[in-house]
Amino acid sequence: MTTTIRRATTADAPSIAEVFIASRATMTYLPKLHTAEDTRQHFAQVVAGEETWVAERDGKVVGFAVIDGGWLHHLYVVPSRFNTGTGSKLFDQATKVHPQGFQFWAFQQNAGARRFYERHGCALMKLTDGEDNEEKLPDALYVWPAPGTAT
C-alpha cells in the first residue's frame, strides 16, 4: 500500500474537511472559532476555487495541501498518518509544481510544523504577535525556498 499524491476534485471536499477537522483538533492551543458545518462549507469553496492536492492511501484522503497565488494556505495530515512522510510528499509536490516559491504562516507554538518546514528548506522571515490572524495567536511567516538557495 502506498500513499499517492494527486490533484483534488470537488468530490474530495468533504474528505478534505474531515482531515482538517481531525488534524486541527490536535492543535489544542487553538481557539475553536468555526463549527464543523462552517468548515465543510469553507472547504467546498476552497477546493472548487484553489489549487488543492490530496494524499491518498487505500482509497482514502489522508492529507491535503492548498497552494494558490504564491501562498501555501493549508498543509494538513490526518492524525493517524502523522510522522509517516505524508506531509513531506505533499510539501515536495508543492515545491515541484511551484518552483518559483511560496510563502506561508505557521503558529509560533507549532514547533513540530516549524521543524518540518525548516528541514524542508524554508526560511523564517518574520514573527508577529498574531494581531492580524483570526486566532490572535503569535505566528511565523516562512518562505520556500530559503533566500539564496538554489532550487
Q: Which one of residues 9, 10, 45, 83 is an interface residue with ligand COA (CB under 6 A)?
A: 83
CB 42 within 8 A of CB 34: yes
Q: Which is nearer to ligand COA, 112 or 130 (CB)?
A: 112
Q: What are phi and psi of 49, to 5 degrees?
A: -115, -15
Residue 88 binds ligand COA (CB under 6 A)? yes
Q: Is 73 exposed, middle or buried (0-12, 13-18, 19+ CB in 10 A)?
A: middle
Residue 85 binds ligand COA (CB under 6 A)? yes
Residue 138 binds ligand COA (CB under 6 A)? no
Strand ranges (DSSP E) for the chain? 3-7, 52-57, 60-68, 71-77, 102-107, 123-127, 139-144
Stretch that binds ligand COA, among 4-12, 38-46, 73-81, 143-151 (CB under 6 A): 73-81
* Residues contributing to the site for ligand COA (CB under 6 A): 23, 26, 75-77, 82-88, 106, 110, 112-113, 115-116
